[in-house]
Amino acid sequence: MANKKQETPPTTLSAMPLDPSARVLVTGGAGFIGSWLIHELNQRGVDRIVVSDFLGTDEKWRNLVPLRFDDYVDAGDLLPRLKSGELGKFDLVLHMGACSSTTERDAAYLMRNNYGFTRDLAEWSLGGDTRFVYASSAATYGDGRNGMRDSSDLDYLSALRPLNMYGYSKHLFDLHAARAGWLERCVGIKYFNVFGPNEEHKGDMRSIVSKAYRQVLDTGAIRLFKSYRSEYRDGEQKRDFIYVKDAARQTLHLAESDSAAGLFNVGAGRAETWLDMAKAIFAAMGREPRIEFIDMPEEIKRNYQYMTLADTSRLRESGYDLPVTSLSDAVHDYVRGYLAKMAH
């Protein structure tokens, strides 16, 4: 192991909004969080944006339709075009592009896409003094036995044990960035359970709100996994659920705080049960709760997180002072403002 990196003491920072003339590269820009980051940038008058993504046969291209940006670059062409200088200089790189499937079994693909690509893009960005903000994940924390602190300390990071290959591919870059000293110059975002509009293309990886809304329309009920640990009753497994609009604002705050560096948890800072979420969905739909518990598939049972909870103290110390949308309000906004309209 490399020598332990000393953590920078937290300081209160003030974020300076990006100048409208700033050039921004957003990878994964047609995806869930990436498209909301572009939306937030547009709201701030920033539209000198280059979007990069893999647009396959799903419908995520639709997320780009209402957004303002200068250019689109296929992710397969991005690094060569950056290194050749063809795309010019950027003030900020928001690297959200990744395979986000927690059940992906192709380890080589995850290593290329989530680790190798991120390493090469970070090296290019930092080599040109470009602000680099990338998506890590709460999946790097594993079962939480070592805590869920957004520490950049190498000894702490080395003790984490992700439960699936997705989490490991993200964790491996966090480790590399810590060893290389990059975390002193960039920001890694450990996203917790983000939900909201623009996630429909994610299929089985989309949030329970999206999936359960359809279940209620089709069957009148929401199906939740049974618990297999005695300390958690069925449906009382807990997650830190955060609305994508809050996640995007928190991310851009860190991007705009030039002195912010290292790993940061992005979450609501509270853990709520799947039952809480289900009841909020029924309330938003104006229906009485009807919940069924089903067996958890073996491949999920082995790697299941029973609780996630973001310690957001570093985020707050960085100067972020906006309130987080309550679970009920976020679900209501998503169901009434987006899912119900799509269903008609």
The residues carrying an active-site annotation are: 166, 202
Burial of 229 (0-12, 13-18, 19+ CB in 10 A): exposed
Q: Write the CB contacts of 54 (distance below 8 Å, at least 6 apart in sequence).
A: 74, 75, 76, 97
Q: Decide: 154 and 175 in contact? Cβ < 8 Å.
A: yes
- The encoded tokens of residue 193 equal 């359970």
Phi, psi of 93 (to 5 degrees): -115, 120
Query: Distance between CA atoms of 135 and 122, rounded to whole angstroms?
Result: 12
Query: Distance between CA atoms of 203 and 30, rounded to whole angstroms?
Result: 15
Q: Write the CB contacts of 294 (distance below 8 Å, at least 6 apart in sequence).
A: 223, 224, 225, 226
User: How many C-beta atoms lie closer than 10 Å to residue 230's C-beta?
Assistant: 6
Query: Distance between CA atoms of 168 and 334, rounded to whole angstroms?
Result: 31
Phi-psi region of 89 (alpha: psi -120 to 50; beta: other; left: phi over 0): beta
**Helices 274-285 and 208-219 meet at what angle, rounded to 10?**
50
Rounded to a whole number of angstroms, the CA Rg of the chain reads: 20
